[in-house]
Every structure is written in C-alpha cells, then in structure tokens.
C-alpha cells in the first residue's frame, strides 16, 4: 500500500480520493503503441493535483487513465498475474518490501527516466538494469491517540520494546503482514531491530500483550484507531495503530477547522523506512506514453506536489516540501532499514512464521 491512504480515509497513502479516476479516457487503440491514452496502474492511494496533471497532459499530448487496484500487496500480486497482458503501461506503488517479488517475476522492462540523476542516491535501486525508478519515501511507524494517553495519564510508547510492556496491553492494532504493506513494513522493522533470532520472540510478546491484527491499513486506521477522524466516527477503541509518520499532518490539514497541533503522534522508535517505485510494465501497449509518464513522476513539479496529496516525501534532490507537512510529519531521524536483498532472502519465510505465530 502507499505510504498514506486516500484523503477521505486519511493516512504512503491519504491523498485526494480518486483525483485521477475520471481524468483519462480509454478510447483509442493502444495495440500499436500509438494511443494518446497512457494507463497508470496503482494502489488505491494515488493522487495528484488536477492542475499538475493537466499540465502534463497538455505538454505531452497524452491523457492519463488510472486503475486503482487495492492495497499495494494486492496490486503487485495482480500485476504479476497479468504481466503477459497488463492492465496498463506503468505501475506505481511497489515498495522496498515487495520490490524483489516484482523484479523476480519480470514485472518491469528497462527504462531510465529523464532527471533520474536528480534522485537522491540513498533511494536508488536496480541501477544496473533501471527497471524501477524511486518516486517517494516515508516511514511506517506506530501512531498514538494523544487524547487517550492524556486522559489516562499514560506516557505514549516510544519504541518497539515499549509496545510489549503491560501498560500497553490491548491497545495496539496492526495490519496483516501477509496482505498489507504497512503490516509487512512493521514486521520488517521488528526483524531489523531484533535480528533473525529475536524478532519472533518479540511478536510472541506482542501477541501476549493483546495486539489486534486486521487485513488492511484502512480497516486499522479508519475503523479501529481511536485517534483518527474515521476511527472516532466508527467507534475505534485502539489508541495505537501501525500507520505512517506522515499521518499526523493529514489529520491537521484535512480537519475543518484545522487544529494548531496534531491530535495524533508518532512513536519515533518504531519506524521503518519505506521507498515506493514505479516502472514501465513488461508488454506495455503504450510504452512511449509510459516513458513520458515516468519522466513526469520524477519531474520537480510532480515531486513537489506529492506531500500534500499522497502525504509522502519526494526523492528528488532539491524538491521543496510544504512547511505544514514538514512541521507535522517530519521524517524519522533514525528509522529501521533493510536492504532489498535481505528482504528478498527472508520475506516469505518471515511472513509464514509470523502468520503461524500471530494468527493461529
């Protein structure tokens, strides 16, 4: 899933819900690569300002059609299954937790966008073949409901260790690591923190401490979490949720009236750094349009548009971040990280073990 979910839901992915859903047209024969419609396949948190999209369409001559396909994990799996006859030309939203799966299944073909050299080196991947391009970054972290902890005179957790303490029993909700990218990111963060031998013992402690697992970010954040605008309406009773470091600014910016401080906070010692990529799909019918779209995604205009639409940070060096976003959603100073190779070597076994430990 995206670093924040749709704006109507709040939260790699938030964003202006469905901003692109009706912007493109499916007319025209794309079979010869000459179609003036280019199709972007994405998870359900894709968003862009209408004026920014219109500028691209005018300058390139392509109309953009967007197919949103659920959580990032679901979208990647479907894209792999349909790779011989893809739904579109470009896929956006595969992150570092799932990158090796996409590359190993031949999901993308090689293309290096214009201005790719402007992308910060720390986020680059697959540099020998250029099958994917970094687009955005953010941090998967536990968020907390400030009002709950104030009312209960309880100090919010600050670290992975804290979450297993008795004081936080039955307070945390997380996503299924097998079906949700933030859930998987949180699992990987614990593996990075405690190592190959220690992470499973940590999850045994979390299970004993009453962690609740749901299928998706939207369910966790908008239904179970007491601190979100959606959770308040849905009667959510869990004051701790696995979400994003950029969820608090969304709670501020989309509130009416806007509060002066965010109603939610971030447990800074629970963060895992996420990077999202886009790539030109293998067997894309409109590869030229796809290349133009990838150039646009790396361009400064789109990169500076992302923070207040998808609530993620740009990867392009020199791209400015809106002050409100930086104020309420600063990047984690010392997040857990993991190389794509290590993720590839352990992910499936870790998810299998996690499933047997936590869900059975």
| CA 62 – CA 25 distance, rounded (Å) | 10
| CA 264 – CA 108 distance, rounded (Å) | 38
pLDDT at 14: 34
The domains of the chain, with CATH numbers, are 37-137+274-328 (3.40.190.10), 139-272+332-358 (3.40.190.10)
| CA 289 – CA 86 distance, rounded (Å) | 15
Closest C-alpha to 328, from 345, 308, 358, 347: 308
Location of structure tokens 């299954």: 81
3-state SS track over the chain: CCCCCCCCCCCCCCCCCCCCCCCCCCCCCCCCCCCCEEEEEECCCCCCCHHHHHHHHHHHCCEEEEEECCCHHHHHHHHHHCCCCCCCCEEEEEECCCHHHHHHCCCEECCCCCCHHHECHHHCCCCCCCCCEEEEEEEEEEEEEHHHHHHCCCCCCCEHHHHCCHHHCCCEEEECCCCCHHHHHHHHHHHHHHHHHHHHHHHHHHHHCCCEEECCHHHHHHHHECCCHHHHHHCCCECEEEEECCHHHHHHHCCCCCCCCCCEEECCECCEEEEEEEEEECCCCCHHHHHHHHHHHHCHHHHHHCHHHHCCEECECCCCCCHHHHHHCCCCCCCECCCHHHHHHHHHHHHHHHHHHHCC
Closest C-alpha to 5, from 72, 97, 51, 94: 72
Quick one: residue 144, left, alpha or beta (phi over 0 = left, psi -120 to 50 = alpha)? beta
pLDDT at 17: 31
Segments in the chain below pLDDT 70: 1-34
Q: Which residues pair with 144 in a beta bridge?
A: 240, 265
């Amino acid at each position: 899933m995206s670093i924040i979910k749709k704006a109507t839901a709040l939260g790699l992915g938030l964003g202006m819900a469905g901003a692109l859903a009706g912007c493109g047209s499916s007319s025209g024969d794309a079979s010869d690569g000459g179609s003036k419609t280019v199709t972007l396949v994405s998870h359900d948190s894709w968003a862009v300002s209408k004026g920014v999209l219109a500028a691209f369409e005018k300058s390139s001559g392509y109309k953009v059609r967007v197919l949103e396909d659920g959580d990032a994990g679901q979208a990647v799996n479907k894209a792999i299954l349909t790779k011989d006859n893809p739904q579109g030309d470009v896929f956006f939203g595969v992150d570092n937790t799932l990158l090796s799966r996409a590359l190993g299944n031949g999901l993308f073909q090689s293309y290096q966008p214009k201005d790719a050299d402007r992308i910060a080196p720390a986020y680059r991947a697959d540099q020998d073949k250029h099958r994917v391009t970094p687009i955005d970054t953010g941090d998967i972290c536990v968020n907390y409901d400030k009002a709950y902890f104030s009312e209960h005179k309880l100090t919010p957790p600050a670290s992975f260790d804290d979450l297993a303490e008795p004081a936080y029993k039955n307070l945390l909700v997380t996503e299924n690591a097998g079906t949700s990218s933030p859930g998987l990111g949180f699992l990987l963060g614990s593996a990075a923190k405690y190592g190959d031998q220690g992470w499973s013992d940590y999850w045994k402690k979390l299970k004993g401490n009453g962690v609740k697992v749901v299928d998706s970010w939207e369910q966790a954040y908008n239904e179970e979490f007491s601190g979100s605008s959606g959770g308040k309406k849905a009667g959510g009773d869990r004051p701790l949720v696995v979400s994003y470091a950029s969820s608090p600014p969304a709670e501020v910016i989309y509130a009416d009236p806007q509060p002066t401080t965010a109603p939610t906070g971030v447990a800074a010692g629970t963060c895992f750094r996420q990077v999202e990529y886009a790539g030109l799909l293998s067997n894309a019918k409109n590869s030229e349009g796809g290349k133009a779209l990838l150039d646009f995604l790396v361009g400064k205009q789109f990169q500076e548009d992302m923070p207040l639409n998808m609530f993620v940070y740009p990867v392009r060096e020199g791209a400015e971040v809106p002050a409100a976003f930086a104020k309420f959603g600063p990047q984690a100073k010392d997040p857990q990280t993991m190389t794509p190779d290590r993720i590839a070597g352990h992910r499936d076994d870790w998810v299998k073990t996690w499933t047997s430990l936590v869900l059975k």
